Amino acid sequence: MKFEVKTDLSKRDFLTFYHLTEKLHFHNRYLANRIGTIAAVTLAVLLTAAVVTGHMWENKKVMIPYCIYMVLLIALPFANRFMVDRMYKASSAYLKAEYYFGDSGVRTGRDRVYLYTAFCDFCRSAGTFYLYIDPGHAMILPEGSFTEGDPAAFGAFITEKTGLTLKEIK
């Protein structure tokens, strides 16, 4: 059985891959980001309550750091988006790719060959397969990009060739 996949990934595909990889392979960093965000929002609520009740208006030295903190808090969601945008642009050469899955390994359109033993993880989420080469790099294979072979049989094929179990991620 052979499979051929030609991808043309969108920014949304890349963003989904980024968040999935954070959850699966960099769990500590993912949790630290979430805990940091919760702590920042909690502190903002407490500081805002202090301003509203008038406690901070009396001490002008406290107002400047408060204003700086609030500007940084407002910028926090945009910083992550900015970082992902930069990563997306840096990866643009790999967003259009061709993969040929044969009996012995995977050949890319750039004439690079990966043996099936090179893969470390295999996942599917929202109609896309992710075949990880290492914890930070994967072949992103949307089911709609298969030009040869049945996407429904792809999971069993890769499981047989690599020995990896397909993880269904919601």
Distances in Å between the alpha carbon of 126 and those of 89, 99, 102, 118?
23, 20, 25, 24
Considering the entire predicted model, what is its pTM? 0.67
The mean pLDDT of 54-75, rounded to a whole number, is 68
Q: On the CB side of 161, how many CA atoms lie within 13 Å of its CA?
A: 25
Task: Say what the pLDDT of residue 60 is.
Answer: 65
* pLDDT, tens digit (0-9, with 9 covering 90-100), for 4-20: 898 888 777 777 777 77
Report the CATH fold assignment for 3-9+94-168.
PH-domain like (2.30.29)
Mean pLDDT of the chain: 79
Question: Where are the domains positioned within the chain?
Answer: 3-9+94-168, 13-90
Task: Say what the pLDDT of residue 146 is.
Answer: 93
pLDDT at 129 over 90: yes
